[in-house]
Amino acid sequence: MSQGATIKDVAQKARVSEATVSLVLNNKASIREETRQRVLKAIQQLNYHPRHVARGLASRKSGNIGFILTDDHFSRAEPFYTKIFLGTEFESRKYQYYILLTTIPRAFHIETDLPRFLRDRNVDGVLLAGHVPTALSEHVLQLKMPHVFIDFSPRHKQGNVVMMDNLLGATLAVRHLIDLGHHRIAFIGGDITHPSIAKRLEGYQQALLEAQLPIADELIESAESDTAPEDGLRATEKLLSRRAPFTALFAANDAMAIGAMQCLQKHGKQIPAKVSIVGFDDIEAGAHTQPPLTTIRVDKEELGAVALRRLMEMIETKKELPGKVFTPVELVVRQSTAPPAGATNGKLVSAISTGKYNIDQG
Amino acid sequence: MSQGATIKDVAQKARVSEATVSLVLNNKASIREETRQRVLKAIQQLNYHPRHVARGLASRKSGNIGFILTDDHFSRAEPFYTKIFLGTEFESRKYQYYILLTTIPRAFHIETDLPRFLRDRNVDGVLLAGHVPTALSEHVLQLKMPHVFIDFSPRHKQGNVVMMDNLLGATLAVRHLIDLGHHRIAFIGGDITHPSIAKRLEGYQQALLEAQLPIADELIESAESDTAPEDGLRATEKLLSRRAPFTALFAANDAMAIGAMQCLQKHGKQIPAKVSIVGFDDIEAGAHTQPPLTTIRVDKEELGAVALRRLMEMIETKKELPGKVFTPVELVVRQSTAPPAGATNGKLVSAISTGKYNIDQG
DNA sequence: TTGAAAGCGCTAACAC
DNA sequence: GTGTTAGCGCTTTCAA
């Protein structure tokens, strides 16, 4: 266990004090270049690596970040949060920080399910990904521990949130349909109480307004309670039963879009010949549907990386970073969208990127 | 940061020395019950939680376990390794240990991609899940760091391995088909160099031998290089082209089984009326195929938990634990299997559990 | 059964 | 610029 050189060995070898080695290590004070080189050389020769725990104790920091999400989010088939985590973990390497990933049950009880690292004070800050229980987020606030919410915005709190740009994404999706020549564009979305879904509906409406197209209630179906393929299927079924014609459909996410495709195909409506479809999220399954799904791509790794950077900044400056950050989204055009039957002037559109991070749009 | 009671506060409040508090905490020496209670009470009153880093420095342990897997394994759509990790993380709580999850690229270079915690000595042991590069496993061996391989057995090393019971699982699958009355049972499997796949083929053969059925080469197709649905589809296509009749098919995993189903259905062979199919792994998609897939279930969380327990034992005893451990598997009967057309005496079979952990079978 | 004291390997004031 | 001196909050001998 105790194998490996310590700072003491380095100090001796370089004929300086331990303090100097520490200063070089953390390039704190200005050190004469010559001594710096001597220390660096000793470090290399001894293959010295600072012990993370020792550093933690002395600096009164743990050097760890907690990453919390509910177990169902994590073990879901679509590796959405997994990729966010990956982005976080990768970014954390630049800061010499470690990520402690833990899941909490969906039915969260604060007495039994509170992540240990919160009690142990074994993290300097936490990342909360996806929908987390209010009891937990309130506890974190109360601890006054630096934190960032990812892809979720708790009701009782503004700020410290990193999300994908739902509003812009939805707008891009619907604009794409409009550009193709569609006028009657339907929307399906479940769990409309979820802030992300609500924003996507808002984007849909906004794009229609922009184009001076009417917002027709009979083309909006958002009563389902979840956003799985089955919900998409049911929502589309309802839409069809209203007999209000539409040539395109924007689904609040790819999962629902896939359900919608099944429903439409069952009814003999070819995609995109009869109905164009756009989804949201760019999940893997969407690339393998027949036809492949046009969608809005979200950079999950970037979401995780941005959140970590903000958190590190908060930890270093000991200040809250006000505002939400929205990470870019982009339109990915595949084969599920085309000009409506009989259209004359559908513009040709290719993948559109979206500029940079927008702050505080929400 | 420095908020929170320390051992000193507890000692004062309980009118004992810090050493005594420590002893109570780790119930090391025999402490008089009365003092123990006094200490415990003080701990509660002060809501004391030992600082993880301080403990680590003093005990010369990090209190962390590293969990290493390749990034493609981790972000794969089927949350196989994710669930293994979940099992590990959950189990680690009992030991007051934290898991440091890190991914390595598939194209691993030891100079640039070696997990930091190995350099920092920030873990007391490591778990390596799935196929990991030889360069890495050799480095770990060389560090003499306690380690357990999960679902993978490096060529250069026996022991310290936890796997699902591939041999038994395959045997159960094929026995099930035999019990239903099948005699002509095909096998498809890709990447036969992978130890797990090889074991499954072995189990297939063993079950046939047991039942005194011939092992027919023309019913075995294992030339594909991977085990994805496409490979299953191709393998089945080859099988059919040989015109050797079969009434049942055992696929080396569910992914291939799904591909096989597509192929057979395309050729108008109804499942299970014309051909029965059994897969392996019990992935989620298998429950939603038409018909739902009979398969071999693997308890992924348990796999992770068992691996952690073994690792902890190695850390505590400072000894290697020789031998491989095989975690149980069970047959899950769904609708993709039935007696062959015209069968008279297919036994009715329900889910069969498999007894307990077998050591060193492989 | 308990306490005193040393020390784990590093950082952080404050001198010089 | 660099060294000295204290710790950080625990565990761990070794005595008593």
Interchain contact, A116 vs B93, CB within 8 Å: yes
pLDDT at B343: 60
Q: Which residue has the higher pLDDT, A17 or B29?
A: A17
Q: Are B239 and B259 in contact (CB under 8 A)?
A: no
Q: Which residue has the tokens 């709190």?
A: A157
| A131 in the same domain as A279 | no
**Is B320 a member of any domain?**
yes
Report how far residue B190's alpha carbon sits from residue A202's, in angstroms, rounded to the nearest whole number: 48
Distance measured from the CA of protein residue A59 to the C1' of nucleotide D8, in angstroms: 7
Which percentage of chain A shows pLDDT scores above 70? 94
Res B358 pLDDT > 50: no
pLDDT at A361: 35
| A249 in the same domain as A315 | no
Indicate the SS3 state at residue A8.
helix
The average pLDDT across B72-87 equals: 91
> Closest to A78 (Cβ–Cβ): which among B61, B77, B89?
B77
Q: Are B65 and B89 in contact (CB under 8 A)?
A: no
Q: Are B82 and A82 in contact (CB under 8 A)?
A: yes
Nucleotide nearest to B22 (CA to C1'): D11
pLDDT at B340: 94
**Is B210 a member of any domain?**
yes
> Closest to B82 (Cβ–Cβ): which among A82, A100, A102?
A82
Residues A132, A85, A313, A149: what is their CA dihedral angle, to the nearest 10 degrees? Answer: -20
| A242 in the same domain as A333 | yes
Res A344 pLDDT > 90: no
Q: Convert the pLDDT of each residue in B96-116 to its tens digit.
A: 999 999 999 999 999 999 999
**A82: which 2 tokens?**
């997994």
Report how far residue B209's alpha carbon sits from residue A302's, in angstroms, rounded to the nearest whole number: 54
**B90: which 2 tokens?**
């959950």
Nearest to B160 by CA among B357, B310, B336: B310
Q: Are A292 and A336 in contact (CB under 8 A)?
A: yes
> Closest to A117 (Cβ–Cβ): which among B85, B98, B120?
B98
Indicate the SS3 state at residue B64.
strand
Residues 12-71 of B near strand D (Cβ < 7 Å)? 18-19, 21-23, 25-26, 28, 48-51, 54-55, 57-59
Distance measured from the CA of protein residue A135 to the C1' of nucleotide D8, in angstroms: 32
Res B357 pLDDT > 80: no
Read off the pLDDT band of B128 (50, 70, 90): very high
**Is A82 a member of any domain?**
yes
| A238 in the same domain as A315 | no
Report how far residue A56's alpha carbon sits from residue A199's, in angstroms, rounded to the nearest whole number: 42
Read off the pLDDT band of B24 (50, 70, 90): very high
| A224 in the same domain as A142 | no
Report how far residue B109's alpha carbon sits from residue A83's, in angstroms, rounded to the nearest whole number: 22
How close does chain A come to B57, measured CA to CA in Å?
A: 6
Report how far residue A266's alpha carbon sits from residue A277's, in angstroms, rounded to the nearest whole number: 15
How close does chain B come to A352, measured CA to CA in Å?
A: 26
Is residue B291 less than 8 Å (CB to CB) from chain A? no
The secondary structure of chain B, three-state, reads CCCCCCHHHHHHHHCCCHHHHHHHHCCCCCCCHHHHHHHHHHHHHHCCCCCHHHHHHHHCCCCEEEEEEEHHHHCCCCCHHHHHHHHHHHHHHHHCCEEEEEEECCCCCHHHHCCHHHHHCCCCEEEEECCCCHHHHHHHHHHCCCEEEECCCCCCCCCCEEEECHHHHHHHHHHHHHHHCCCCEEEECCCCCCHHHHHHHHHHHHHHHHCCCCCCHHHEECCCCCCCHHHHHHHHHHHHHCCCCCCEEEECCHHHHHHHHHHHHHCCCCCCCCCEEECCECCHHHHHCCCCCEEEEECHHHHHHHHHHHHHHHHHHCCCCCCEEEECEEEECCCCCCCCCCCCCCCCCCCCCCCCCEECCC
The count of structural domains within chain B is 2
**Is A33 a member of any domain?**
no
The size of chain B, in residues, is 362
Interchain contact, A102 vs B121, CB within 8 Å: no
Report how far residue B226's alpha carbon sits from residue B63's, in angstroms, rounded to the nearest whole number: 38
The CATH number given to whatever domain includes residue B99 is 3.40.50.2300
**A114: which 2 tokens?**
């509170």
**Is B36 a member of any domain?**
no
Residues 30-89 of B near strand C (Cβ < 7 Å)? 30-32, 34-36, 57-58, 60
Read off the pLDDT band of B349 (50, 70, 90): very low
**Which positions on strand D lie below 7 Å from a protein C-beta?**
1-13
Report how far residue B248's alpha carbon sits from residue B152's, in angstroms, rounded to the nearest whole number: 29
Beta bridge partners of A147: A126
Report how far residue A234's alpha carbon sits from residue B299's, in angstroms, rounded to the nearest whole number: 33
Is residue A61 less than 8 Å (CB to CB) from chain B? yes
Q: Are A145 and A166 in contact (CB under 8 A)?
A: no
**Is A46 a member of any domain?**
no
Q: Which residue is nearest to nucleotide D13 (CA to C1')?
A: B19
| B131 in the same domain as B119 | yes
Vertex A228: Cα angle to A223 and A231 (nearest 5): 35
B115 touches strand D (CB under 7 A): no
Distance measured from the CA of protein residue A8 to the C1' of nucleotide D4, in angstroms: 15
Read off the pLDDT band of B191 (50, 70, 90): confident
| A204 in the same domain as A284 | yes
| B307 in the same domain as B205 | no
| A340 in the same domain as A317 | no
| Burial class of residue A239, CB neighbours in 10 A (0-12, 13-18, 19+) | buried
Q: Are A96 and A65 in contact (CB under 8 A)?
A: no
Res B355 pLDDT > 60: no
Q: Which residue is nearest to nucleotide C8 (CA to C1')?
A: B58
pLDDT at B255: 93
pTM score above 0.75: yes
Amino acid at B79: P
Interchain contact, A120 vs B86, CB within 8 Å: no
Chain A residues closer than 8 Å to B285 by CB:
77
Read off the pLDDT band of B218 (50, 70, 90): very high
Of the residues A2, A46, A53, A74, the best mutation for testing chain B's interface (the one with the most B CB atoms within 10 Å of its CB) is: A53
- pLDDT, chain B, mean: 90
| B110 in the same domain as B255 | no
Res A358 pLDDT > 60: no
Res B1 pLDDT > 80: no
Q: Are B122 and B64 in contact (CB under 8 A)?
A: yes
Q: Convert the pLDDT of each residue in B231-273 to its tens digit.
A: 999 999 999 999 999 999 999 999 999 999 999 999 999 999 9
Is residue A122 less than 8 Å (CB to CB) from chain B? yes
**Is B317 a member of any domain?**
yes
Q: Which residue of B has its CA nearest to A69?
A: B86
| B336 in the same domain as B218 | yes
Q: Which residue has the higher pLDDT, B362 or A257?
A: A257
Is residue B80 less than 8 Å (CB to CB) from chain A? no
Chain A residues closer than 8 Å to B83 by CB:
75
DSSP state of B146: -
Of the residues B1, B47, B51, B52, the best mutation for testing chain A's interface (the one with the most A CB atoms within 10 Å of its CB) is: B52
A96 touches strand C (CB under 7 A): no
Q: Which residue of B has its CA nearest to A83?
A: B75
How close does chain B come to A44, measured CA to CA in Å?
A: 13
Read off the pLDDT band of A234 (50, 70, 90): very high
The average pLDDT across B141-166 equals: 89
Interchain contact, B100 vs A96, CB within 8 Å: no
Is residue B40 less than 8 Å (CB to CB) from chain A? no
**Is B26 a member of any domain?**
no
B122 touches strand C (CB under 7 A): no
Domain containing A100 equals 64-163+301-327
- What backbone torsions phi and psi does residue B355 show, to the nearest 5 degrees? 70, -160
Distance measured from the CA of protein residue A61 to the C1' of nucleotide D10, in angstroms: 15
pLDDT at A343: 60
The size of chain A, in residues, is 362
Q: Convert the pLDDT of each residue in B284-328 to its tens digit.
A: 889 989 899 999 999 999 999 999 999 999 998 888 888 899 999
Which percentage of chain B shows pLDDT scores above 70? 94
**A249: which 2 tokens?**
């459909």
Res B359 pLDDT > 50: no
Interchain contact, B100 vs A100, CB within 8 Å: yes
Read off the pLDDT band of A312 (50, 70, 90): very high
Interchain contact, B98 vs A54, CB within 8 Å: no
Is residue A359 less than 8 Å (CB to CB) from chain B? no
Res B86 pLDDT > 50: yes
How close does chain A come to B234, measured CA to CA in Å?
A: 17
Residue B221: CA atoms inside 13 Å, Cβ hemisphere, count?
A: 27
| B210 in the same domain as B94 | no
Report how far residue A92's alpha carbon sits from residue B117's, in angstroms, rounded to the nearest whole number: 12
Q: Where are the beta strands (DSSP E) in chain A?
A: 64-70, 98-104, 125-129, 147-150, 161-164, 185-188, 220-221, 248-251, 276-278, 295-298, 324-327, 329-332, 358-359
Is residue B116 less than 8 Å (CB to CB) from chain A? yes
